[in-house]
Amino acid sequence: MNIGIDMDGVVANAIAKAVKNVNSKYRLNISTEEIDENGTEAKVYERLPVNFRTLLNGKSDIRPAIYTKSFFKYLSAYDGAHEGVKKIYELGHKIFFVTKIIDWENSPGEKYYWLRKNFKSIEWNLICVERMEDKALVDVDIIIDDDPRVMETFPRTKILMKRNWNKKYRERRCDDVCIEVSSMLEAAEQIRLLEG
Q: For 153-193, write each residue's pLDDT tens digit.
A: 999 999 999 998 888 888 887 667 799 999 999 999 999 99
Report how far Cα 61 is from the mean position of its chain's Cα atoms: 21
pLDDT confidence of 14, banded at 50, 70, 90?
Answer: very high
Residues 71, 76, 81, 83, CA torsion sign: positive
Q: Which of 59, 11, 6 is nearest to 183 (CA)?
A: 11
33 and 94 both lie in a single domain? no
159 and 176 both lie in a single domain? yes
The span from the CA of 12 to the CA of 17, in Å, is 10
21 and 6 both lie in a single domain? no
SS (H, E, C) 51-109: HHHCCCCCHHHHHHHHCCCCCCCCCCECCCHHHHHHHHHHCCCEEEEEEECCCCCCHHH
The 10s digit of each residue's pLDDT in 50-77 is: 666 666 666 557 777 788 889 999 999 9
39 and 126 both lie in a single domain? no
24 and 50 both lie in a single domain? yes
Q: Which of 174, 150, 157 is nearest to 9 (CA)?
A: 150
Higher pLDDT, 42 or 76: 76
27 and 97 both lie in a single domain? no
> Among residues 51, 66, 81, which one ends one of the domains?
66
188 and 126 both lie in a single domain? yes
Higher pLDDT, 90 or 61: 90
φ, ψ of residue 112 in degrees (nearest 5): -60, -45
120 and 157 both lie in a single domain? yes
Domain count, the chain: 2
105 and 191 both lie in a single domain? yes
50 and 78 both lie in a single domain? no
Q: Which domain holds residue 177?
A: 2-13+73-195
The CA distances from residue 173 to 78, 148, 177, 178, in Å, are 25, 9, 7, 9
* Neighbour count for residue 15 (Cβ, 10 Å): 21
112 and 185 both lie in a single domain? yes
CA angle 163, 100, 162 (to 5 degrees): 10
> What is the CATH number for 153?
3.40.50.1000
105 and 117 both lie in a single domain? yes
Question: What's the predicted TM-score (pTM) here?
Answer: 0.91
